[in-house]
C-alpha cells in the first residue's frame, strides 16, 4: 500500500531534482521568450528583433516533511514523511520548453511557443493514515479528515501563439498589452481523491484494516498512467491525446523609462512592472481506457476493508479493482470523457534598476483554484525577491523565495551569452537542508 502514497517520491530518481520555473531569469532585463511566458505583453520589449529559444528545461520537487539529505539518502522516508500533525504534501513539476520563436516589429511583438508539462503530486495525505499504511504504527488510529486527500499525475503538451502591442510610448512611460492562446494536447492522467474520510485504521502486527468508515472517492485515469504509475516511461506520453483543449492568457506591462546611455542600458528602464492572468482553460482527456468515477465508500459494523490487499499495486486500475471487489463502494456517477482545468494563476512582478548594473525584482505567483478539486492540476503560491547584477552578455542573480509547500528557499543562477542555468533552492539545500530541490537550464539567442 505504501506505493500508493510514494508515487511522487519514486519519480524523483527519474526526473532528478517550488513550482516557480526559471526563478530569477524569468524577470531578467534581457527580455526574451522566458519573460513572455510569464507575461505575453513583454513581447513588445524583446531585447532583440528576433528571438530563438532552442531548449529550456526546469524540474523541481518540494514537500513539507522530508529534508534534502533524507531524500538523497533514502533512509526512513516513510517515517519522516508522516511526522507531525500537518497533512503531508509533495509536489513534482517538470517543464520542457521546446523550439520557440519570437519577433518584434514596430509596436508589435509575435511569438510561437512549444512546451511539455509533467506534474505528479501527493496532496494533503493524512499522517495517521500514512503511518498505519506503512506499518510504522501498531494499534488503532482514528481518521477524521475534512479535506480531500489526492494522488494526482498529469502530462500534456502545449503550442502557444502570442501577440503584444505597445499602446503608448513616451520619453518617460511605456505601456504594452499582450495575449496568448494555447492549443492543448492531453497526454495521460490519473487521480485518486479520498475526501471527508472518517473511520478507524487498525494495524495488528502488519495486518491493516479500515473499519467504521465513510468517504467520497474519485478515481480518474486516461492513457498510460492508468497502466502503471511507478513506471517513469509512462510520463513521456506528452502529446498522445491530440488537440483536445484550449487555454488563454492576458498580460499588461508598464515601464518607467530612463535615458539610454549605452548598449548595456538598451532597454532603458528604471522600473519594469507586469501583471498577467495565465493558464485559464481546460483540456479533455480521451483514450480507450478513459474513465472518471465518483464513489461513496461505506464500511459499517463488523465489516472491515483489508488494506494489505493493496500491497504491490502498480496502477490506479489495480486500486480501483480491489476497492470495487470489496463491495464497500457505491457508484454515484461516471463519465467516459472528462475535462481537467489548467493550473490558473495570477502573476505580478516589478524589476527595479538600482544603480549601474544592479537590479532587484519582486515576483509573485498566486493560484486561482483550490488544490482539493479532483478536476484540477496543481500549482503553488510563490513570492520571490531577486537581487541581480546584469550586463549585456552576462548576469548573476540570487532568488529568495517563499513557497507554499517548502517555505523559504534561496538559490543561485547565471546567464552567459545565450546559455543560462540556475536553481531557486541550491543554497538552502546545501546549507540549511531544505525540503525543496530544483534545477533549470537552457539556451536561446537573439538577432
Using CA atoms, how far residue 437 sits from 58, 230, 233, 403, in Å, is 11, 21, 22, 12
Q: Measuring CA to CA, which residue among 88, 126, 317, 153 is closest to residue 213?
A: 126
According to the model, what pLDDT value does residue 13 have? 38
Of 141 and 293, which is predicted with more confidence?
A: 293
CB of 374 closer than 8 Å to CB of 382: no
Contacts of 366 (CB under 8 A, 6+ apart): 345, 346, 381
According to the model, what pLDDT value does residue 230 have? 67
According to the model, what pLDDT value does residue 128 have? 81
Q: What predicted TM-score, i.e. pTM, was given to this entire model?
A: 0.88
Split at pLDDT 50, 70, 90, the class of 373 is: confident
Q: Measuring CA to CA, which residue among 418, 433, 438, 435 is closest to residue 54?
A: 418
Q: Measuring CA to CA, which residue among 264, 339, 349, 438 is closest to residue 37?
A: 349
According to the model, what pLDDT value does residue 232 have? 66
According to the model, what pLDDT value does residue 228 have? 73
| Cell digits of residue 160 | 502557444
15 pLDDT exceeds 50?
no
Other CB atoms within 10 Å distance of the CB of residue 53: 25
| Cell digits of residue 88 | 503531508
Beta strand 394-397 pairing with 412-416? antiparallel
Distance CA 426, CA 259 (A): 37
According to the model, what pLDDT value does residue 161 have? 98
Would you call 247 helix, strand, or coil by DSSP? strand
Q: Measuring CA to CA, which residue among 319, 8, 229, 5 is closest to residue 133?
A: 5
Domains along the chain? 2-446 (2.40.160)
CB of 116 closer than 8 Å to CB of 93: no
pLDDT tens sequence across 28-61:
999 999 999 999 999 999 999 999 999 999 998 8
pLDDT tens sequence across 421-442:
999 988 888 776 678 888 999 9
HEC sequence for 25-55? HHHCCCCCHHHHHHCHHHHHHCCCCEEEEEE
DSSP assignment, residue 131? H
Mean pLDDT of the chain: 87
DSSP assignment, residue 310? G
| Cell digits of residue 233 | 516511461
HEC sequence for 327-350? CCEEEEEEECCEEEECCCEEEEEE
According to the model, what pLDDT value does residue 130 have? 79
Would you call 183 helix, strand, or coil by DSSP? strand
The residues with which 324 forms a beta bridge, in sequence order, are: none
Q: Calculate ∠ Cα 40-46-50, nearest 5°.
A: 110
Would you call 115 helix, strand, or coil by DSSP? strand
Which residue has cell 467520497? 216
Split at pLDDT 50, 70, 90, the class of 4 is: very low
Q: Measuring CA to CA, which residue among 45, 27, 33, 34 is closest to residue 352?
A: 27
Contacts of 372 (CB under 8 A, 6+ apart): 123, 124, 147, 148, 150, 195
Distance CA 160, CA 182 (A): 4
Alpha helices of 249-297 — where are they, by DSSP H?
Answer: none
170 pLDDT exceeds 90?
yes
CB of 120 closer than 8 Å to CB of 167: no
> Residue 108 belongs to what H/E stretch?
strand 108-125
pLDDT tens sequence across 109-162:
999 999 999 988 888 888 888 777 765 667 788 888 888 999 899 999 999 999
Distance CA 171, CA 175 (A): 12
According to the model, what pLDDT value does residue 240 have? 76
Of 306 and 240, which is predicted with more confidence?
A: 306
CB of 151 closer than 8 Å to CB of 189: no
pLDDT tens sequence across 195-230:
999 999 888 877 888 999 999 999 999 988 888 776
Amino acid at each position: 500500500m505504501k506505493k500508493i502514497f510514494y508515487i511522487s517520491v519514486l519519480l524523483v530518481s527519474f526526473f532528478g531534482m517550488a513550482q516557480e520555473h526559471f526563478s530569477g531569469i524569468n524577470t531578467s532585463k534581457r527580455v526574451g521568450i522566458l519573460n513572455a511566458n510569464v507575461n505575453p505583453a513583454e513581447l513588445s520589449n524583446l531585447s532583440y528583433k528576433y528571438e530563438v529559444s532552442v531548449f529550456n528545461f526546469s524540474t523541481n520537487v518540494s514537500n513539507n516533511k522530508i529534508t534534502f539529505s533524507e531524500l538523497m539518502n533514502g533512509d526512513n522516508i516513510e517515517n519522516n514523511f508522516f511526522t507531525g500533525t500537518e497533512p503531508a504534501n509533495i509536489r513534482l513539476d517538470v517543464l520542457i520548453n521546446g523550439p520557440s520563436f519570437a519577433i518584434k516589429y514596430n509596436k508589435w511583438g509575435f511569438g510561437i511557443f512549444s512546451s511539455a508539462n509533467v506534474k505528479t503530486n501527493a496532496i494533503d495525505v493524512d499522517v495517521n493514515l500514512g503511518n498505519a499504511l506503512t506499518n510504522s504504527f501498531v494499534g488503532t488510529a482514528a481518521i477524521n479528515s475534512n479535506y480531500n486527500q489526492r494522488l494526482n499525475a498529469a502530462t500534456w503538451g502545449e503550442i502557444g501563439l502570442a501577440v503584444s502591442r505597445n499602446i503608448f510610448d513616451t520619453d518617460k512611460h511605456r505601456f504594452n498589452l499582450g495575449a496568448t492562446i494555447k492549443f492543448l494536447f492531453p497526454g495521460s492522467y490519473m487521480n485518486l481523491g479520498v475526501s471527508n474520510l472518517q473511520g478507524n485504521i487498525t494495524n495488528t502486527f502488519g495486518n491493516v484494516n479500515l473499519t467504521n468508515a465513510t468517504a467520497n472517492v474519485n478515481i480518474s485515469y486516461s492513457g498510460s498512467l492508468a497502466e502503471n504509475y511507478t513506471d517513469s516511461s509512462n510520463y513521456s506520453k506528452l502529446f498522445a491525446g491530440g488537440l483536445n483543449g484550449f487555454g488563454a492568457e492576458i498580460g499588461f506591462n508598464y515601464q518607467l523609462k530612463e535615458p539610454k546611455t549605452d548598449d548595456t542600458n538598451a532597454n532603458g528602464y528604471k522600473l519594469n512592472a507586469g501583471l498577467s492572468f495565465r493558464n485559464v482553460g481546460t483540456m479533455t482527456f480521451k483514450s480507450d481506457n478513459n474513465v472518471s468515477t465518483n464513489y461513496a465508500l461505506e464500511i459499517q459494523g463488523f465489516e472491515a476493508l483489508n488494506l494489505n490487499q493493496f500491497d504491490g499495486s502498480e496502477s490506479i486500475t489495480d486500486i480501483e479493482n480491489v476497492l470495487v471487489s470489496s463491495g464497500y463502494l457505491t457508484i454515484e456517477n461516471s463519465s467516459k470523457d472528462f475535462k481537467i482545468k489548467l493550473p490558473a494563476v495570477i502573476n505580478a512582478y516589478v524589476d527595479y534598476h538600482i544603480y549601474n548594473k544592479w537590479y532587484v525584482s519582486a515576483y509573485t505567483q498566486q493560484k486561482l483554484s483550490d488544490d482539493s478539486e479532483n478536476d484540477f492540476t496543481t500549482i503553488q503560491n510563490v513570492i520571490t525577491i531577486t537581487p541581480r547584477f546584469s550586463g549585456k552578455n552576462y548576469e548573476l542573480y540570487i532568488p529568495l523565495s517563499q513557497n507554499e509547500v517548502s517555505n523559504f528557499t534561496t538559490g543561485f543562477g547565471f546567464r552567459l551569452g545565450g546559455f543560462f542555468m540556475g536553481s531557486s533552492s541550491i543554497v538552502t539545500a546545501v546549507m540549511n537542508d531544505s525540503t525543496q530541490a530544483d534545477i533549470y537550464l537552457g539556451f536561446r539567442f537573439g538577432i
